[in-house]
Amino acid sequence: MTDVQRIVIVGASLAGATAAETLRAEGFSGEVVLIGTESELPYERPPLSKDVLLGKKEPGSAQLHDQQWYDDQSIELRLGTTVTALDPAAKTVTTADGASTSYDELLIATGSRVRRLDVPGGDLPGIHYLRTAAESQALTDAYAAKPRVVVVGAGWIGLESAAAARERGCEVTVIEPQSTALASVLGEQVGELFATLHRQHGVTLLFDTGVEGFEGTDKVTGVRTSAGDVVPADLVVVGVGVQPNTELAVEAGLEVAPADHGSGIVTGPDLRTSADGVFAAGDVVRWDHPLLGHSVRVEHWSNAKDSGAAAAKAMLGQDVVHDAIPFFFTDQYDLGMEYAGDVPRGTSYEVVLRGDPASGAYLAFWLDDDRHVLAGLHVNTWDAIDGIQDLIRSGRAVDPAKLADASVELGEV
């Protein structure tokens, strides 16, 4: 590493900041430059759709470190600065002000951005997206007036936004083109359990329904659906997914997966891209997962931390194999859930439930045709996630009957 004097990280995200922190923890004494478009110090996103929306915490509580920490670690922060180009041959990055910065090694941690609805009225005031700290604060403030809220999209962000709105006394309707909540993530059987949860808390759910446009003049007043109805709304939250910020990589000639293959900057298990000295981490990376046997791109908190740390170690010349099992969690009402694993789209699977969902505490597993555990989740069963991950890592076939039997230890199924 004697020839590496400056490492530049593009993206002052959780992944980028974790990489900077890891570089120092691993003993790197050269320059670390962390460049980010947002003006806020690097922060975690999960609190923005949970405690912040509930009005329990301020967005600043999600910050990883204060300014003094970065100063003490000699990490140069360039916030409010957008990288517009990178040149792997010259080993430089160019920012919007025209300045050029050289690097010896580069980490792309540009994250992702929300998908926006391109429909009539889509730019009306009162339509909110939830990705940044500023957007979370704006939505939190708007909830305080207890408006009629329409949520477009029954994915994780949509459902967490709906739960927070209900807990703060808002009338809530969720509109979703799929047949139930989280259908593309959890499948219809388990997704319907989450739909039931929201119905029990007074949320109106409109499934198999699209959005044709928004009504209003100087402010949104309603959502026009594919059924020809207009759902009244004082406030709309749109949560229809994100897309990775791969434009820099594409323009620089790095290998990037096409959209129909999940997008993302393509790397091996060591998070090295197709360009010498360039690595990727966080939402933007699609890496060859050595345990799962296929490439994955993961848009969740744990992967940002895990891949940021792994990329930093790889940049320091360590042998790195990023094999963390995809993991995410959610909190909605009195439900806490953790999920581990990956079920590739198009995979045939069997769902096995362990425990009674009506009790509010249960497990669910997804098995492939050979009865290997692809993924599992628990709801309000806080000692289960390690056992779920152990089953996935083991790669062994399980007995579905034993898996469903709560009296049998997970290690014995």
Q: List, for residues 17-30, the tens digit of each pLDDT value.
A: 999 999 999 999 99
Q: What is the mean pLDDT of residues 88-99?
A: 97
Distance linking the first and last C-alpha atoms of the chain: 47
Reported as type and span, the H/E element at residue 171 is strand 171-175
| 3-state secondary structure (DSSP) of residue 383 | coil
User: Is residue 2 over pLDDT 80?
Assistant: no
- Homologous superfamily of 6-113+242-315 in CATH? FAD/NAD(P)-binding domain (3.50.50.60)
- Reported as a single tens digit per residue, the pLDDT across 62-91 is 899 999 999 999 999 999 999 999 999 999
Percent of the chain with pLDDT over 70: 100
pLDDT at 8 over 80: yes
- Distance, CA of 315 to CA of 306 (rounded, Å): 14
Mean pLDDT along residues 269-278? 98
The per-residue pLDDT for range 45-66, each reduced to its tens digit, is 888 888 888 888 888 888 999 9
Decide if 218 contacts 233 (C-beta within 8 A).
no
Predicted confidence at residue 59, as pLDDT, reads 81
- 236-260 per-residue burial string, b: 16 or more CB within 10 A, e: under 16: bbbbbebebbbebbeebebebbeee
Residue in 34, 216, 29, 35 with CA at minimum distance from that of residue 119: 216
Written as six digits, the tokens of 141 are 């403030």
User: What would the mean pLDDT of 194-212 be, rounded to a whole number?
Assistant: 98
Return residue ranges of the chain for CATH 3.50.50.60: 6-113+242-315, 116-238
Measured at the alpha carbon of residue 144, what is the angle toward residues 140 and 150, in degrees to the nearest 5? 75
CATH number of 334-412: 3.30.390.30
In b/e form, how buried is each residue of 125-137, taking b as 16+ CB within 10 angstroms?
ebbbbbbbbebbb
The pLDDT of residue 60 is 83
CA dihedral (150, 156, 160, 166) positive or negative: positive
Mean pLDDT along residues 332-343? 97
Residue percentage of the chain with pLDDT more than 90:
93
Residue-wise pLDDT tens digits, 149-181:
999 999 999 999 999 999 999 999 999 999 999
Cite the residue boundaries of each domain of the chain with CATH code 3.30.390.30.
334-412
User: Is the pLDDT assigned to residue 35 strictly greater than 80?
Assistant: yes
Count of C-beta atoms within a 10 Å radius of residue 274: 16
Provide the whole-model pTM.
Answer: 0.95
pLDDT at 410 over 90: yes
- pLDDT higher than 70, residue 1: no
Q: Note the helical H segments in 201-316.
A: 247-251, 301-315
CA dihedral 42, 271, 130, 239 (to 10 degrees): -170
Positive or negative, the CA dihedral 42, 44, 47, 48 is positive
Tokens 């219809």 locate to 188
Distant-in-sequence, close-in-space partners of 174: CB < 8 Å, separation ≥ 6: 150, 151, 152, 153, 154, 158, 159, 162, 181, 198, 203, 204, 205, 206
Q: Does domain 116-238 have CATH number 3.50.50.60?
A: yes
